[in-house]
Structure formats: structure tokens, C-alpha cells
């Protein structure tokens, strides 16, 4: 996963969700440049990771690696709970609680490999974000695999601030306890 994190960062594609092997996305073509890659996870580019000599390897095209990146993340909770942020260009933006519903939550939890949504929380339940508040409204129908594929529309009806950052608890691994205090809840 630390190698995948570097790849997603270098490509500007968000957070690493999964690292896949055995040519999950099909066999590659052309030369194999890196083998036995060992990233710490903090590198800005894959070429900065430890690896034996470029072009030297003991594998073939059936061993190509794949990475799944996400345009959404959960912050200040655990891997499967926290404040919802979406990748907007090259920076992360928080999402307004008035513009986020149960179907959006289903897509975010699925995209992050965290199962089903347990609770959508409003009023910055996982703390106030920094930077911009996302100016669009996700219009997921619950069946998409990533937020990137959900239709979006401009949000002109709400004047949101970081006091309205939405939080999400998914049923996946490392969830917070359901009995933690919650400041408010969004109707779904």
C-alpha cells in the first residue's frame, strides 16, 4: 500500500485504496522497468523509491502491479470513518452536510472499500476542515463504484462553511465506536 500511495500521489489521483498484483488489469506490453519496489510512502514519485537497477527484473507481464486510487477520503477518524473530503483538481475540499445524502454515502464507503454507510453526520462532527468547501453537489444514485462517476451540479442554494462539513461512518474495518458523542445527524 505504501507503493500504491506514491503512485496515486504522483498521478494526482487521490488516496490509494488497493494495491493489486498478478496483472489484475491485464498483461502489460513493453519493457519492465522496476521490480521489487520498496517505497516508504512519503516519496513524491515512484522513481524515488528503492528498487534494484532499472530494467533488471525476474518477472514477466503476468506479474504486473495495479493500483486503485480514490477521489474521496475520510479524515480525522479511522480508515472507514471521518470527515468527507473530495479531490478537486490537486487539492482536497470538504463537503457540505446539506449537499450529501445516503446514496452519496453508499458510493464513498464502497469506493474506500469500507462496506456500507452506518451514519451520515453533520455540523463538523469530525472537526472543521481547512481550505475550500466543495462548491458542487454529488448526485450519486448509490450504484456507482467511485464518486468520480457520480453526476455533479453547482451548489447555489447553500452558503456552507466548515461548520457544515459532513462526516461519515462506514461499516468497514477500524470504525469508530457507535456510542461516541455526535453533535448532529443528517436525515437520509
Q: How far apart are CA 80 and CA 97, in angstroms?
A: 18
- Indicate which CATH number applies to the domain containing 81: 3.10.250.10
Whether residue 165 sits in one domain with residue 104: yes
Whether residue 115 sits in one domain with residue 39: no
Look up the pTM and report it.
Answer: 0.66
Whether residue 93 sits in one domain with residue 63: no
Longest dimension (CA), the chain: 58
Task: Choose one of 35, 69, 103: the last residue of a domain.
Answer: 69
Which range marks the domain in which residue 127 is found?
71-170
Judge whether 96 lies within some domain.
Answer: yes
Whether residue 58 sits in one domain with residue 38: yes
Judge whether 100 lies within some domain.
Answer: yes
Please give the tally of structural domains in the chain: 2
Whether residue 138 sits in one domain with residue 54: no
* Residue pLDDT tens, the chain, 188 long: 888 888 888 877 777 777 777 766 767 667 777 777 888 888 888 888 877 766 666 666 667 777 877 788 899 888 899 999 988 777 888 999 888 999 999 999 988 889 999 999 999 999 999 988 887 788 888 787 878 778 877 755 567 889 999 999 999 764 443 333 333 333 33
DSSP letter string, 136-162? EEE---S--SSGGGS-EEE--S----G
Whether residue 88 sits in one domain with residue 29: no
Amino acid at each position: 500500500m505504501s507503493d500504491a500511495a506514491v503512485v496515486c500521489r504522483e498521478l494526482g489521483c487521490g488516496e490509494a485504496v488497493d494495491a493489486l498484483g498478478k496483472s489484475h488489469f491485464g498483461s502489460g506490453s513493453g519493457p519492465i522497468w522496476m521490480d521489487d519496489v520498496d517505497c516508504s510512502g512519503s516519496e513524491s514519485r515512484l522513481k524515488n523509491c528503492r528498487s534494484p537497477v532499472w530494467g533488471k527484473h525476474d518477472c514477466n507481464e503476468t506479474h504486473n502491479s495495479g493500483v486503485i486510487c480514490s477521489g474521496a477520503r475520510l479524515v480525522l477518524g479511522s480508515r472507514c470513518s471521518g470527515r468527507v473530503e473530495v479531490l478537486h483538481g490537486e487539492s482536497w475540499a470538504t463537503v457540505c452536510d446539506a449537499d450529501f445524502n445516503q446514496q452519496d454515502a453508499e458510493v464513498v464507503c464502497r469506493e474506500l472499500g469500507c462496506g456500507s454507510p452506518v451514519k451520515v453526520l453533520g455540523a463538523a462532527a469530525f472537526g472543521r476542515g481547512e481550505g475550500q468547501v466543495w462548491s458542487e453537489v454529488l448526485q450519486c444514485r448509490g450504484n456507482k463504484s467511485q464518486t468520480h462517476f457520480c453526476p455533479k451540479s453547482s451548489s447555489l442554494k447553500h452558503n456552507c462553511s466548515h461548520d457544515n462539513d459532513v462526516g461519515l461512518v462506514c461499516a468497514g474495518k477500524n470504525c469508530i465506536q457507535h456510542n461516541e458523542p455526535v453533535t448532529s445527524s443528517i436525515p437520509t
